Amino acid sequence: MSNVTKIYFSPSGTTKEVVDQLASTFSQDGDSYDLLNFNSDKELGSDDIAIVGMPVFAGRIPKTARQRLAKFKGENTPAIAVVNYGNAHVTDALLELVDLLKENNFNVIAAASTISHHSIFDGVAVGRPDSADIEKIKEFGKRCQEKIESNESLEAEIPGNKPYVDYKKLPFEISCDEAICAFCYDCVSICPEKAIPDDDPVDTDLDLCSRCTACISICPEDARKFSGEAFESKKPAFEQANSERKEPEFYL
Ligand SMILES: Cc1cc2nc3c(=O)[nH]c(=O)nc-3n(C[C@H](O)[C@H](O)[C@H](O)COP(=O)(O)O)c2cc1C
Ligand code: SF4
Ligand code: SF4
């Protein structure tokens, strides 16, 4: 029997939720790899099924997540590629994820883009994935299972362009309110860029920081947040421009 292996990078937790929902449609269980902390070589066999979820960061999959995912090698392993975005744009991220998996000897049988609550602009896609999204994700999971059982390959064309859009680092500041920080160091442990000094969790090295949101999401005191003029001035217009509901897309 195949193992269903979940691989994801999910700083604010919604990509993990989508991957978990998709995996729940399979009767088999398997290992989970959280790329916020897993950074090692790993081989999957032809009997495994990989469900791989990545958030969209400025039209790409996050650079660090890409480097960590590249350490996974398949053996013509069936894979389902999912990018999860904040109701703005997918741009080249899904194509990039599918290409990377293929380069590493995964047999990508299906792909999807799903929508979740925007992890920076929190007025966008509030409450998503919602029950309508989850129903569609589960239906997609069943179709993936049928495809794997009947040995079918991916037929649909994946949207995106090559060369992929250049990496872009967002100019927003992240601040920490020292008055409410409990010095638990959870943010230090989770930061994939080592941008929070372990002797001063109130500080953030913005040159190293990818703005991934993991520290904001994990902080039990809500001490960390986006701040500053660039963020505050962009927020209303961004939220207005991306207020219309988008729907998940499935490629089989
Ligand atoms: C640095 C950064 C860049 C982002 N860029 C995009 C983008 O290009 N398009 C979009 O729709 N959402 C974008 N988002 C929103 C995330 O893709 C979305 O919130 C996703 O659900 C986050 O997944 P997570 O909950 O697993 O962290 C961005 C978020 C971050 C942190
Ligand atoms: S400091 Fe930056 S890179 Fe590190 S967890 Fe926070 S947002 Fe992510
Ligand atoms: S997670 Fe929050 S409370 Fe804990 S050290 Fe970091 S900023 Fe302080």
Each residue's pLDDT tens digit in the chain (252 positions)? 689 999 999 999 999 999 999 999 998 889 999 999 999 999 999 999 999 999 999 999 999 999 999 999 999 999 999 999 999 999 999 999 999 999 999 999 999 999 999 999 999 999 999 999 999 999 999 999 999 999 998 999 999 999 999 999 999 999 999 999 999 999 999 999 999 999 999 999 999 999 999 999 999 999 999 999 999 999 999 999 999 999 999 999
Tokens of 167: 């990496």
Q: How far is the CA of 194 from the centre of ligand 3 (A)?
A: 14
Q: Would the CB of 177 count as within 6 Å of ligand 3?
A: no
Ligand nearest to the CA of 167: 1
Q: How far apart are CA 97 and CA 142, in angstroms?
A: 21
CA distances (Å), origin 5, targets 8, 56, 120, 142? 10, 21, 28, 16
- Furthest CA-CA distance within the chain: 59
Q: What is the model's pLDDT at position 29?
A: 86
Report CA(215)–ligand 2 centroid distance (Å).
5
DSSP element (H, E) containing 175: strand 173-176
**Residue 225, beta-bridge partner list:** 175
* Residue 200 pLDDT: 96
Angle between helices 131-149 and 14-23 (to 10 degrees): 50
Half-sphere exposure of 200 toward its Cβ, with a 13 Å CA cutoff?
A: 5
The C-alpha atoms of residue 132 and residue 152 are separated, in whole angstroms, by 27
Q: Are 38 and 68 in contact (CB under 8 A)?
A: yes
Tell me the per-residue pLDDT of 63-106, one tens digit each, with 9 for 90 and over: 999 999 999 999 999 999 999 999 999 999 999 999 999 999 99
Amino acid at 35: L
Cβ neighbours of residue 248 under 8 Å, at least 6 residues apart? 112, 113, 114, 115, 133, 136, 137, 140
84 lines ligand 1 (CB under 6 A): yes
Tokens 């896609």 — which residue? 125
Q: What is the pLDDT of residue 1?
A: 62
Name all domains of the chain by residue range, CATH numbers in brackets: 4-162+247-251 (3.40.50.360), 173-227 (3.30.70.20)
CA of 61 to the centre of ligand 3 (A): 26
How far is CA 89 from each of CA 50, 61, 80, 151, 242, rounded to the nearest angstrom? Answer: 25, 12, 20, 32, 9
For atom 3 of ligand 2, the residue with the nearest CA is 209
Under DSSP, the state recorded for 60 is: B
Q: Is it true that the peptide bond before 248 is cis, omega within 30 degrees of 0? A: no
Q: Given ligand 1 and candidates 6, 51, 57, 97, which is best to mutate, with the most ligand atoms within 8 Å of its CB?
A: 57
